[in-house]
Amino acid sequence: INSALLSAGYYYIVVDGYGGDCGNYELSVTEVGGLKSEIIDKGNITTGDSEKAEDISELLIYPNPVDDVLMVKSPSEIIGIRIVDLLGRIIFIEKMTTTGTLKINTTEFSPGAYMIFVDIEQTTVKQKFIISR
């Protein structure tokens, strides 16, 4: 990621994996010109959880494309939702504890592509969606 193109703020880095994959990661930041490098985080990641696969497959995010209201429907307990634009800026965040159908008003969002992250128990589901008017 070229930080010279980013404005100040908080950003998410998403690493896609295949179910059951695991490995170590290291996240570091190097200043422009390579003068300073700093390790931000180290750890181990594992993707996939067969016990939660059924609940995740029943999560519905619709309609796509959306005009003014995005629906999130889950039989499992939703504990948080984040919507991020393609530059990584968080434009919507809400912590909650709910099941059923949640309505998100998108009338204040600009038309374009977004990522929604839905936190369900110990799993996060992400999906791209489009706002078109």
Mean pLDDT, to the nearest integer, of 15-34? 60
Range(s) within the chain of domains with CATH label 2.60.40.3080: 53-131
Q: Give the model's confidence band at 33: pLDDT under 50 very low, under 70 low, under 90 confident, else very high.
A: low
Per-residue pLDDT, 120: 86
CATH hierarchy code of domain 53-131: 2.60.40.3080
- The residue among 1 and 78 whose pLDDT is bigger is 78
Q: What are the backbone dihedrals phi and psi of residue 109, each rounded to the nearest 5 degrees, phi first?
A: -85, 145
- The residue among 88 and 15 whose pLDDT is bigger is 88
Which tens digit of pLDDT belongs to each residue from 93-126? 999 888 889 999 999 999 999 999 998 877 888 8
Per-residue pLDDT, 76: 86
pTM score: 0.60
